[in-house]
Amino acid sequence: MIGTWKGKYKYNLKQNSEFNNKEVQFLLEITEFDGESFIGTVQDNDTEFGTQGQGIIEGKLNGDHIEFIKKMPVRTMLLKNGKKIEAKNKKHHPIYYTGTSNMKDSFSGQWKIKAGISFTNMILYISFGTKGTWEITKIQ
């Protein structure tokens, strides 16, 4: 597990948006692995459709099942009209990834951001959650 992984994720939105089915590339660096739990860093390569900054991941591998939480430093939200807003002084809501192994060095699955309420720039936002698909392949 330790090493560099190249990945991509897609949004699966109900509303019509330029984000729907947009593919965002990212790099995942797993720095610690004890045979079950792992930690590392992640960075999206797309500042227009991805989340800014270097994030942290914490996860578990159980056989061919993987799950991890992605914690990004900049809160990013998609509005119903398809626009993106960022709150650089607030952390992003946790992003939950689950999936399975496709082969030795490849995983794919689903991701989601749970529904919630937040204040950004003195405005109340209600999120009904966001979800999509993802995959990673080890490159080093």
| CATH number for 93 | 2.40.128.120
Most confident of 7-11, 125-129, 134-138: 134-138
> What per-residue confidence (pLDDT) applies to 95?
94
Burial class (CB in 10 A: 0-12, 13-18, 19+), 84: middle
pLDDT tier for residue 93 given thresholds of 50, 70 and 90: confident
State pTM to two decimals.
0.83
Say which residue, 32 or 74, is predicted with more confidence.
Answer: 32
Confidence band of 14 (pLDDT split at 50, 70, 90): low
Q: Which residue has the higher pLDDT, 10 or 118?
A: 10
| Confidence grade of residue 16 (pLDDT, cut at 50, 70, 90) | low
Residue 11: domain span: 3-138
Number of domains in the chain: 1
Q: Is the pLDDT of residue 68 over 90?
A: yes
